[in-house]
Structure 1
Amino acid sequence: MAFSFCFCFGVTLLLSMWSMATCHIPDGAVTMECRDRYFTIAVDLSFAEKEPNFEAVDETGVYPITVKYAATCGYSTNLLPLLGRMELRASYFSCHTDNTDDEVFTFNFNLNAMHGGEDITYALNKTCSPTLPWSPREVTCEVNYMEVSVRSDMACPTGTKQDDWDAVVQMAYISATSDWQVLLHRDGEQLMPMNLSEAHKQGYAFDLTDGRLVFRTPYGQPDSLSTTVNGVPVEVIHAALFSRQNWVVLMVDLVAACSMYEGSYDESGYMMWETPEELHLLMSGLHETQINVGVNGELVEQPVAEERGYIVEKHNTTVQISIPYNAEGGYRKSLVSGDLYEFYVFDLYVEQISVDEDHVDTRLRFHRTLATPLLPRPVFSLNRTVLEDRTFTVYLGDVPEDVELAAVHLNGHKYMLPFNNTSSQTITKVVHPNNTHGYTLKVPFDDPVVVQKFSKEQAVLQYKLDVNYTMTILPENEPYYHLESVEALFTDVSPPTFQAVCSESGIRFKLDHRSFDYMWDISVGSDLLTSELAAQHGYILSNNSQSLLLDVPLFTHGYKYKDVTLKGFFGTFEILVRDHDTSEVQSSTVKTCPFTATELILCSTDGRMTVVADLSLAIPSGGVPARTNLVDKYCGPKEADDTKALFSFPLNGCGSTVKLGKEYVTYENEIFFSRKLNALKNPADSSNDIDKVMVQCTYPLAGLYRLFSVYKFESDTAGIGRIVRSARSAEGLQSSTTKPPAVLQTAVPATRLTPRPVSIKPGYRPPAQYIRVSSFLNQFNKGARGSPQAKVTPYIGL
């Protein structure tokens, strides 16, 4: 803005304070600051239920600060949702400011805010004094108006055109009034003069203080001129203020000019703003220009500006200012437009100090709001999963400060934040010093929400997790979604394999745990291996995070025996690995070990009893076990030595007796050493006792398919065998230095066996299927008389 002022005058205007009641304002809700050339008020938007508004107050009344009124009277209001506040800037020469000698300025405002549905008025007042002395010429290019003030004792500038002065003087003499009038120039055309009241109605403001003349006009007035200077858009308005006092004419030639450049953004990441050094011909004499730059109404020292990345350059007669888009002092905002974007806003503050040929300082200030275009602002995610941890770890990063995570969808299941404390999933916020943050999501592989897929053909186990992050842009709560899919692969996945070793008392199995072994179940036969099953069958089970140990003592449930001789036998135990979902057998570990035993009785599932009996005390001195026999005298041992004999015979043969109980059936036979043979060897021994050892096999009735001698024997499980000695034999055992038990018995289950329905094979029709046991036994005994085969007798309470 340029101006001319040729006569000295002074006007003093006294203002009185406007007093009113003051309501309490919470700390931090409202801040007021005095700056070099203006006063500012900042209001926190959370202070009121809706956008607050201001009123200017003086002794004449209360004046609402509307958009139009603000531009005319020297106010600017700015809503800053990025910062959550609203600002008011007031020029020191604004309409309703109390001015004392251009050194003390007192401001009075009303702040109107709504609380609880009720409008409440708060009185705000502040007194300011400029920290810098006034320059002869002061120009302000605000966001909504132009303002110029000039010292009243300043000499006429040399740049004033004579033709302009002649036209104004001629108009002043023609006018017969002594009131101040305004004459506007537009494109070389002079408009008709108007008084100050008419000018004020059109938005022009003039004020005379103790030492300065002030002129203010909004942008876009009908009488303003839009032009370009060196390619930079400039708005100009040319006004002449005059008054005739008899033969004396007081005249002020005023030209207001401001750069209207909106700013630009280049690919290197800079926002740029330009202004011509000479905005108008009347300013052509200015030289020795100095440029200072700042943001938010505060100028910074040149080293600080350079440290922030500001660049000030002159290209011919144009000043170009470049600011990095993310420099300190700017405001950023996130925005969703399909994808996530951001833009930056700078409240640019520029001071241009120039000296003309008359060594008169001109201080020109610009308030301009610069904004970048929408810049892509993608967030990113990283898969930080460690297979050994068996937990998905996904990091969502580079999340802007005005974006918050509200929920996540895990494989289609929605989880709101914060997660439930009992949930196995966790999410942690990570804050970074660059005003961004991130989130670390953890979901265990075995969480029900994780999808698992196992390929038997490729031996690959896959865990998959689809994550849909739901974020909200604050404060609008506009949603934004980010999708990520992560998977974890285990290759060469195979069913677990046990290590097995033999011992004197049984077999030990060991399994080293792997992370994916939970996919399979371990069983003994059809029964899952659990601590309860181990206790029931006498196994010793130890299971921790590292390994599983199973000790299977000899003769416990699940063993299979073969190659039984007097010197020993082989015991085989098998552990099955089944698919967890289908229970199909995937693999097995079979271990066969050699064992020795003084005595042994085996009751097979196919109806055969195998016995190794120590007969050293059950036969007379000099007798040999090879001459012993079963009930059927033709059933002798298969193998014998000096003390032991091995018998192996069908349960329903060799004179065995069948005893039926309510839930069990027992096959019983005896090992004899006859009295007749004993008398021949020891005539002095007249005892009529027959030395014998009883052997038994007991089976649960519920597990038998076919029972009696006329049918083939089948059983689900091996029977429980016992070797029972006669009283005489038992006495001999007690007197022996070697003390085997009087009764040798394989392990009996700790719990009662649960009966199950008998499975009848096709074509099989047992004649006794629906016959009462007692009558059936009578019929069977009649048919079995005189036969050396099995004899059936009732037997209750095994």
Structure 2
Amino acid sequence: MAFGICFGVTLLLSVWATAKCGDIPNEALLMECRDRFFMIAVDLSFAGNNPHFEAVDATGVYAITKRYAALCGYIVRVLPLPGIVELRASYFACHTDNKDDDMFTFNFNLIMMQEGKKSTHALKKTCSLSLPWSPREVTCEVNYMEVSVRSVVPCPSGTKETDWNSLKQVYTSATSDWQVMLRKDHGPTTPMMTPLNLSEAHEQGYAFHMTDGRLVFRAPYKQPHSYSTKGNSVPVEVVHAILFSRHGWVVLMVDLVAACSIHKGSYDDGGYMVWETPEALYPTIEDQRLNIALHGELVDQQVAEDQGYIVENLNATIQISIPLDAEGGYRKSRASGGLYEFYIFDLYLEQVFVNEDHMDTRLRVHRTLTTPLLSRPVSSENRTVPEERMFTVYLSDIPEDVELAAVNLNGKEFTVPFTSARGPTITQIVLPNNTHGYTLKVSFDDPVVMQQFSKEAAQHSLNINFTLMVWPENVPFYHLVSVMAFTDASPPAFDAVCSESGISFKLNHRPFDYLWEISIGSNLLTSELAAQHGYILTNNSKHLLLEVPLFSLGYEYKDVTLKGFFGTFEIFVREHETVESKNSTVKTCPFSTTELIICSTDGIMTVVADLSLASPSGGAPTGTNLVDKNCQPSDADSTRALFSFPLYRCGSRIKLVKDHVTYENEIFFSKKLNASNDIDRVTVQCTYPLAGLLSLFSVYKFKSDKAGVGRIVHSTQVLQSTGIKPATVVSTRRTQRPGSRLAARHPPARYIKVSSFQKPLPNKGVGQHIKVTPYVL
């Protein structure tokens, strides 16, 4: 379809200019001279909720209402997404100071309420034309249609029959004053309305005015004299005015017609907003040129296509597809049960037509296109690594106008940001394309985590409800995630540390540790057992700490030498229900002491004796022996000797007293078996309860499961001469605290009894592992 005869459009380069205005901050106000219009944008955060404009000229001040704006060439609208109030004014708008159709000065008042008071701000801007006007230009604004033509237009090369019919109709009613006729259709039998003078036309909503070189006609959409038609199934609105005046037999007639596609746009599921217009709204003898912009400067079709636009000609219809992420568009989230989004595009399009007289018709279209609500689900990913014992949930693809407000974990609410240094953590992550995400971390051991345990595995589960808020409306929506992880419910294991005075065992508590119990040998570890055996037990909600002093019940000793020995302590873990042992923690540490006597369950006496007090004359410990002179030390230094021998050998004497049996031997410097005094010998003893002996008075076999007490008795005269008191036996029920003198200094002798909770050991001979309980001198 085609309308009109002589048309043209000139492209103006956009000129950006920011105006300064008294008490309006520079960052809150933008005034721009564009190709064929002037624009003002004011930040709503400064302008308030209900700003409005007034046009000012030499004749007065005029409020720009909705109707007045469409009639006079203005468009005023509030744009919540960029957060501005915008005014666009045609260069031919009312009250514009037009100088030679080349320089245009605008004066406006911005009126707004600030702190309950009305304030008025004067705004002024002059715009210069950078390119000449085309013979005919048509503007399809959001609220009006405008067409302007040169005052002097050459006659067309051909005149159509319909044009002559129009001339006949207007000739009979033409006067010397300018009149206008409006046509409701386009054809030979098109009815004509009664001619109106320009004042009457203005009262009915039509504007006509003349500049130095152009005739301008403007009309709002949906006027009584405009009509709709279809151009290849695309809706088009047309207003057709014939402006004329007769002087004698000569009639001056100007055919003014504006045709605008009123296609509202449609959304393509492929991610494009599509707008359509007929290919031939105006006659053209060559392919029309297209320039496209979104709320910015027009660019050539090829440049737009390089930016992702798709421009196609389908069945004589131009179809422009705008990608959703096109620069200059606006995106907005909306919460309605879930998260949705829509996009708004201020399409600015220029079509250039060339008729048979090689005169340009330039059509400029302003259209606001809005997509329907599109689902915008938030993405979540479970990044939990069970070995780390930490839930890690990643929430992503969150638009910039959406923020996380709270997180509900198994019914417990946490506001964002999390304030506690302990417990769950939330971290925001900046992502491309103006989106962001959050990483939530929750320890498996956190009280909010639901847990179920079995002997095979521990099940950890977490129901997460993310509360997200759409701003600035402050409307919430929710994203639910349920995560679950399984970990091995293995028996606990202690961390063990050696010290000078013993071994410390530490166990960090786990929620499922109730499946297991801790024992020392076959006895359950309790506070009573610890106190009885001299252990130091600390148990709280976080960990269990067991300090086992050296020579406490449960130690195993090996590799005894004059330099030291190794002590081993073992803690057992067993099932709570079956009491079946599942694992144990064994720790072996090196120790040293001045004197030591060990009475083993398999009848071996091991003695490290300090002989410096027994030989004032300086006898060497290497020259010592037991009652049996053939039993000599296995090792000796300048003051001490090491003996290890079976109880029933080396001349040992056996004494039965009530319910005990004592094995006794002596360490001599002299080769005589019977010394003349006590100064040169040391007596060593091992005492066992008869009830614990499995074999007695046997040369080949000795076994006991009862306590054996060892003693090292120095000569009485030596003790008196040095001021040393005779040794006394300290009960193992006495608790030794870390740091006490007794525990830290290792007194001269340790007397050790057989562990009553250990099973009897086979006869391993001298130097084998020995399980003992100490009696401390």
Q: What's the TM-score once normalised by structure 1's chain length?
A: 0.68
Deviation at 1:721, TM superposition (A): 7.9
Deviation at 1:388, TM superposition (A): 3.6
Which residue of the other structure, out of 483, 489, 494, is the alignment partner of 2:490?
494
Q: Structure 1: where are the runs of 5+ without partners?
A: 7-20, 562-570, 603-610, 625-638, 657-668, 674-680, 686-690, 698-717, 753-798
Q: Which residue does 2:461 correspond to in 1? A: 464
Instruction: Give the conservation status (yes or no) of the 8 Å contact 2:347–2:368.
Output: yes
Find the residue that maps to 1:94 and give its secondary structure.
coil
Q: Structure 1 residues 522, 672: CA separation in 2 closer, same or farther (over 3 Å shift)?
A: closer
Q: Which residue does 1:179 correspond to in 2? A: 177
Instruction: Describe how 1:120-519 pairs up with structure 2 within 5 A.
Output: 120-158=119-157, 161-168=160-167, 170-174=169-173, 178-187=176-185, 188-245=190-247, 247-279=249-281, 283-284=282-283, 287-456=286-455, 459-491=456-488, 493-496=489-492
CA distance in 2, matches of 1:743, 1:285: 125
Q: Structure 1 residues 558, 196: CA separation in 2 closer, same or farther (over 3 Å shift)?
A: same
Find the residue that maps to 1:479 and give its secondary structure.
strand
CA distance in 2, matches of 1:539, 1:489: 35
Instruction: Give the conservation status (yes or no) of the 8 Å contact 1:498–1:509.
Output: no
Q: Which residue does 2:741 correspond to in 1? A: none
Q: CA RMSD in A?
A: 5.1
Instruction: Give the conservation status (yes or no) of the 8 Å contact 1:601–1:723.
Output: no
Instruction: Describe how 1:58-69 pairs up with structure 2 within 5 A.
Output: 58-69=57-68
Q: Structure 1 residues 539, 741: CA separation in 2 closer, same or farther (over 3 Å shift)?
A: farther
Corresponding residue pairs, total: 637
Instruction: Give the conservation status (yes or no) of the 8 Å contact 2:648–2:663.
Output: no
Deviation at 1:152, TM superposition (A): 0.5
Q: Structure 1 residues 534, 304: CA separation in 2 closer, same or farther (over 3 Å shift)?
A: farther
Instruction: Describe how 1:546-565 pairs up with structure 2 within 5 A.
Output: 553-554=550-551, 556-557=552-553
Instruction: Give the conservation status (yes or no) of the 8 Å contact 2:533–2:553.
Output: no
CA distance in 2, matches of 1:477, 1:512: 49
Find the residue that maps to 1:418 and give its secondary structure.
coil
Instruction: Give the conservation status (yes or no) of the 8 Å contact 1:613–1:646.
Output: no
1:83-102 Cα shifts (integer Å, max 9, x gaps): 22222111001112111111
Find the residue that maps to 1:745 and give its secondary structure.
coil
Instruction: Describe how 1:620-635 pairs up with structure 2 within 5 A.
Output: none
Instruction: Give the conservation status (yes or no) of the 8 Å contact 1:460–1:490.
Output: yes
Q: Structure 1 residues 289, 729: CA separation in 2 closer, same or farther (over 3 Å shift)?
A: closer
Q: Structure 1 residues 349, 598: CA separation in 2 closer, same or farther (over 3 Å shift)?
A: closer
Deviation at 1:209, TM superposition (A): 0.7
Are 2:734 and 1:749 aligned? yes
1:550-570 Cα shifts (integer Å, max 9, x gaps): 76533x256799xxxxxxxxx
Query: Which amino acid in the other structure matches residue 433 of structure 2?
Result: N
CA distance in 2, matches of 1:648, 1:729: 23
1:383-411 Cα shifts (integer Å, max 9, x gaps): 22233433222111111111111111112
Instruction: Flag the structure with more relative contact order, 1 or 2, with Cα contacts below 8 A and sequence separation at least 6.
Output: 2
Deviation at 1:103, TM superposition (A): 0.7
1:250-298 Cα shifts (integer Å, max 9, x gaps): 322222211111122223222222211322xxx3455442111121142
Find the residue that maps to 1:744 and give its secondary structure.
coil
Q: Structure 2: where are the runs of 5+ without partners?
A: 8-19, 558-566, 589-594, 614-625, 629-646, 666-672, 678-682, 690-705, 738-777
Instruction: Give the conservation status (yes or no) of the 8 Å contact 1:55–1:111.
Output: yes
Q: Structure 1 residues 74, 672: CA separation in 2 closer, same or farther (over 3 Å shift)?
A: closer
CA distance in 2, matches of 1:167, 1:613: 138
Q: Structure 1 residues 34, 645: CA separation in 2 closer, same or farther (over 3 Å shift)?
A: farther
Instruction: Give the conservation status (yes or no) of the 8 Å contact 2:535–2:548.
Output: no
Q: Structure 1 residues 153, 560: CA separation in 2 closer, same or farther (over 3 Å shift)?
A: closer
Find the residue that maps to 2:729 and give its secondary structure.
strand
Find the residue that maps to 1:189 and give its secondary structure.
coil
Instruction: Give the conservation status (yes or no) of the 8 Å contact 1:136–1:151.
Output: yes
Q: Which residue does 2:39 correspond to in 1? A: 40
Instruction: Give the conservation status (yes or no) of the 8 Å contact 1:403–1:473.
Output: yes
1:32-60 Cα shifts (integer Å, max 9, x gaps): 10000001111112113314222222222
Deviation at 1:646, TM superposition (A): 6.1
CA distance in 2, matches of 1:346, 1:523: 75
1:676-695 Cα shifts (integer Å, max 9, x gaps): xxxxx99x99xxxxx99999
CA distance in 2, matches of 1:546, 1:449: 20
Deviation at 1:181, TM superposition (A): 2.3
Find the residue that maps to 1:236 and give its secondary structure.
strand
Q: What's the TM-score once normalised by structure 2's chain length?
A: 0.70
Instruction: Give the conservation status (yes or no) of the 8 Å contact 1:723–1:743.
Output: no
Find the residue that maps to 1:347 and give its secondary structure.
strand
CA distance in 2, matches of 1:30, 1:592: 77
